[in-house]
Structure 1
Amino acid sequence: MSYVVDFTNVSTVGLESSPVAEALAGLRANEARYLRNKYGHVFTVEPASQAQETIDWVHGILKDERGIVIASPPLEATGFEVEGIRMAYLFYESGLSINVMYTIDDAKKRAVGFKLSEGMEIPEELASTFKFARQKSKLAGTIRGSYFTFKNDH
């Protein structure tokens, strides 16, 4: 069952099994607010069990581009297209959030972003490769993020 993420009243619905559920819910709400403000998009997620195609697409990009396999299980995911950009968001039990922004007509504007919920350690599979910058968020506290760009088709 899909869930429309409310960034006014932050909820842990669907994220309860995460040890950092409150922080992950704030991170998810932060993404919902960004997408609403930037694109007018209503951010809706679904349980990982119902989003396997999106999860496989993101995991394929991670593996093909950087040899990354995320150890934590995904709890929720969503995939959609807005303004010629295919986007996907995955939220993991560990508190990790991964998003892909894949510009369909311009291979120069494709990226994978990683965000860590407050209180979450950097996952071992990302620690040796990525440096994480800090950003403050009213909804998510301190977010640590990193990203990489790619040009291949997926």
Structure 2
Amino acid sequence: MGQVVDFVNVSTEGLESSPMAEALAGLRANEARYFKNKYDHEFTVEAAEGFAEAAAEVERVAKVLKDERDIVIESKPLQVAVADVDGINWVHVFYESGLAVNVLYTVADGGKRAVGFKLSEGMEPPAELDAFKWARQKSKLAGTIRGSYFVIKGEHPPID
């Protein structure tokens, strides 16, 4: 069983190796608050290494990025969160650099399918994401988050 992310008492647990640990913890807490408020879902993370399911989800996210836009994230994945809510499969990967990547995949045909990128406060976009335009969002938990996304065109169904 994973770690439920507490968005009231923000912790860097599991993110300690990141030079952006505090900011990344705020970003992770921001995601947890969103899922609790919108879907009444407990946002739970697992270590990206050492758990077969988490490693498989990291590989799935990497494959979507590579197949769709020829993007390879150079940073080490630290944690993974998987949520299935309202017919949508969400996978979040939190990287050591301070980057968070999420893949939103509606299971029903014709539904929303996209990849989202979020940068922890103070993080510059990594070279592999230079081509994207970044919007800013203020968060009480995470400071200023910069985000971008693209729509998934191919088929990348969730792992069973």
TM-score range, shorter-chain basis? over 0.9
Q: CA deviation at 1:119?
A: 1.2
Contact between 1:59 and 1:69, CA under 8 Å: does it hold in 2?
Answer: yes
**1:122-141 paired onto structure 2 within 5 Å:** 122-127=125-130, 129-141=131-143
CA distance in 2, matches of 1:131, 1:69: 18
Q: CA deviation at 1:107?
A: 3.6
CA distance in 1, matches of 2:101, 2:46: 15
Report the counterpart of residue 123 of structure 2 in structure 1.
Answer: 120
Contact between 2:43 and 2:83, CA under 8 Å: does it hold in 1?
Answer: no
Q: TM-score, normalised by structure 2?
A: 0.93
Q: Which runs of 5+ in 2 are unaligned?
A: none
**What RMSD, in angstroms, separates the aligned Cα atoms of the two structures?**
1.0
Q: Give per-residue Cα distances to partners, 1:10-68, cap 9 Å, x unaligned.
A: 00000001001000000000000000111111000000012111101111100000000
Q: CA deviation at 1:91?
A: 0.2
Identity, in percent, stands at 66
CA distance in 1, matches of 2:85, 2:132: 28
Which AA in structure 2 matches 1:137? S
Q: Which runs of 4+ in 1 moved over 6 A?
A: none
Question: Is the counterpart of residue 64 in structure 1 residue 67 in structure 2?
Answer: yes
Question: Is the counterpart of residue 4 in structure 1 residue 4 in structure 2?
Answer: yes
Report the counterpart of residue 153 of structure 2 in structure 1.
Answer: 151
Q: Which runs of 5+ in 1 are unaligned?
A: none
Contact between 1:27 and 1:117, CA under 8 Å: does it hold in 2?
Answer: yes
Report the count of equivalent residues. 153
Pick the aligned partner of 2:104 from 91, 101, 105. 101
Contact between 1:108 and 1:151, CA under 8 Å: does it hold in 2?
Answer: no
CA distance in 1, matches of 2:93, 2:56: 12
